[in-house]
Structure 1
Amino acid sequence: MSGLGDWAAVETFAAARPGASAGTYYGGPAVMAAASDRPVVTPSREPDSFVLHIDADQKSMLMDLDPALFWETPHYQGYPALLVRYGPADGIAEWIDRALELAAAKPRRRKK
């Protein structure tokens, strides 16, 4: 598997996962769980990272496990999302799949 070195690579990888689809979230590009219309990954304003939408328990665990890869800014504190630095797919791909499973299991998001 090649690396996930930029948003285009992350988006292509995540959108190709079963149950995922390209979409928008707050007006920007996103990969969504098709079953719930909830975000899985979105781009970040941070130039070297993307946003992984994941539950709070796993967020804390990931930041403790590898703080160089998984991190947050004050903007994401208290929210079920964290920043992930672009890099080798083997450290990131499994967590994109896990975020997709979690998002798909939630109730369908209401359209605004």
Structure 2
Amino acid sequence: MKDWDDVVAFALTLPDTVVATHYGGPAIKVASNGRAFLSMSREPGSFVLSIDFDTKEMLLESDPDTFWQTSHYEGWPGLLVRYASTDPDRVHAMIERARDQAAARKPSKSRKKA
């Protein structure tokens, strides 16, 4: 993947995904529950992947050239992913995992009905 457009194009091939916003920036969410699993980063050359802590730690340890974080992401279930990864298949697999995890969660507060 060379840029955010490539990430979006791949993510939209996954079931129940839509282009949306998250904290005011571009994102991809699960349509049925409003949970974001990808968002554009302010860090050049990277995007944000929302994923569980165990997977996050494994990715940071096993491939720090692709998966990384700034202090902003410490203690949060998300990390940065470089577009220029040498293993795009693994990045695709992690995007799919993040989508599946987001799809399994309850609707976001903004999606709940009163």
TM-score, normalized by length of structure 1? Answer: 0.91
Q: Once the two structures are aligned, what percentage of the paired residues are identical?
A: 45
Alignment of structure 1 residues 84-99 onto 2, 5 Å: 84-87=81-84, 89-99=88-98
Give the secondary-structure state (helix, strand or coil) at the position aligned to 2:65: coil
- The reply on whether 1:35 has 2:57 as its aligned counterpart is no
CA offsets 1:13-67 (integer angstroms, 9 cap, x no match): 1122112111111111100012321111101111111000001111101111111
Partner in structure 1 of residue 3 of structure 2: 6
2:15: which partner in 1? 18
Secondary structure, aligned partner of 2:43: coil
What is the distance in 1 between the residues matched to 2:24 and 2:67?
A: 24
RMSD over aligned Cα, in angstroms? 1.3
Uncovered stretches (5+) of structure 1, i.e. residues with no partner:
none
The CA deviation string for residues 75-104 of structure 1, in whole angstroms up to 9 with x for no partner, is 110111100000353121000000000000
The alignment of Structure 1 onto Structure 2 pairs a total of residues equal to 109
What are the ranges of 5 or more consecutive residues in structure 2 without an aligned counterpart? Answer: none
